[in-house]
Amino acid sequence: MRVAVTIPYFDFFPEIKAELMSAYPGVKFPPTRARLSEDELIDYLEGYEAAIIGLDRFTEKVCSALPELKIVSLCSAGVDHIDPEILNRHDIKMYWAAGINKVSVAELALCYMVLTLRKVHFLSQILYRGEWKGPVGFGADLRGKTVGIHGCGHIGKELVKLLQPYGVKILVCDRVDISAFCAEHRVENVSFDELLARSDVLTIHLSRNKSTLGLYDDKTLGRMKPGAVLINCARGSMVDERALKKRLESGHISGAAFDVFDVEPANSNPLLDVPNFFASPHIGATTRESWAMMLRSGVYGVAHAYRQAANAYPFD
């Protein structure tokens, strides 16, 4: 089978690259780290039967132009950039391992809870600017707080487990039945309204879909508990950034930490000028452990891809 890779990360893991080359002699690797456009993707994959990909979009145009392509194997934890109906129309099988980066993202979210409550980002800047001349103000402990988790899938469940020793009250909200999980881990399953009203710390772990795009608009943010902290390590498109900026400046939301944005890279995002806002450049899955698992998953999927059901993912 002729296999082509569209993501550059195998270069960072030579042992996994060697495994892939051994399994599929002649495998093609990308000459650049830049994401390929539609036309570039078509040119690059012409004549290949399988593609190991990251966030490339296999549109109708791309799939129509690649009649020999029969397998698309994802190295990404998310799949909202792939339309199974398009793949099925062109008889292309796919492989994807859900939740493969759950530990890394859950650990980051927990880290951001403590960082934001303690105002580490804001207070450290006082030191860096040489302005530390006396008391610098107070942060808050995570212990004793009510933590709300919106979305209790792979990452949300992992975060619940990580939070167990912290002495917090955990609320979870999800559209599917998670009652058995809640009972096992002694957490409270609540409505969205209750999650907003009661959470001292609210962390978003939802999938990107039509029902979650823009969900945290100004009205929703206004329903959050006054003084609450908002964490987003999911997708930036779920939160109205202008509304969040206004709520942070007013103090209604006391702090926020985001790893994701509407437009990325987010180098000029106005939120970066807000002192009680902390940001990172979409690093949720960028640990060596997560990427090793995602790359190996992509290799595994070449031999284990299958036809996707049109409603295979909860992204409708």
Per annotation, catalytic residue among 57, 118, 252, 282: 282
Per annotation, catalytic residue among 154, 205, 208, 235: 235
Per annotation, catalytic residue among 46, 264, 304, 307: 264
Taking 90 as the threshold, does the pLDDT of residue 208 lie above it? no
Its pTM stands at 0.91
**pLDDT value at residue 34:** 85
CB-based contact 149:170 (threshold 8 Å):
yes
Average pLDDT over residues 264-268: 94
CB count in 10 Å sphere of residue 90: 16
Average per-residue pLDDT for the chain: 95
Same fold, 3-98+287-304 and 102-279: yes
Q: Is 2 a catalytic residue?
A: no
Q: Is 81 a catalytic residue?
A: no
Average pLDDT over residues 3-28: 96
Distance of CA 100 to the CA centre of its chain: 11
CATH of domain 3-98+287-304: 3.40.50.720
Query: How many whole angstroms separate alpha carbon 207 and alpha carbon 155?
Result: 11
Taking 80 as the threshold, does the pLDDT of residue 211 lie above it? yes
Structural domain 102-279, CATH architecture: 3-Layer(aba) Sandwich (3.40)
- Confidence band, pLDDT 50/70/90 cuts, at residue 232: very high
Residue 26 carries which side chain, given as an amino acid letter?
Answer: G
Domain boundaries, the chain: 3-98+287-304, 102-279
- In this predicted model, what pLDDT tens digit does every residue of 38-59 receive, in sequence order? 999 999 999 999 999 998 999 9
**pLDDT value at residue 251:** 97
Angle at which helix 14-23 crosses helix 288-304, to 10 degrees, equals 10
CA 7 vs CA 104, 196, 295: distances in Å? 20, 39, 10
Q: Is 15 a catalytic residue?
A: no
Query: How many whole angstroms separate alpha carbon 295 and alpha carbon 9?
Result: 8
Distance of CA 300 to the CA centre of its chain: 22
- CA geometry: angle 286, 289, 292, nearest 5 deg: 90
Residues across the chain: 316
- Confidence band, pLDDT 50/70/90 cuts, at residue 314: very low
Query: How many whole angstroms separate alpha carbon 193 and alpha carbon 223?
Result: 8
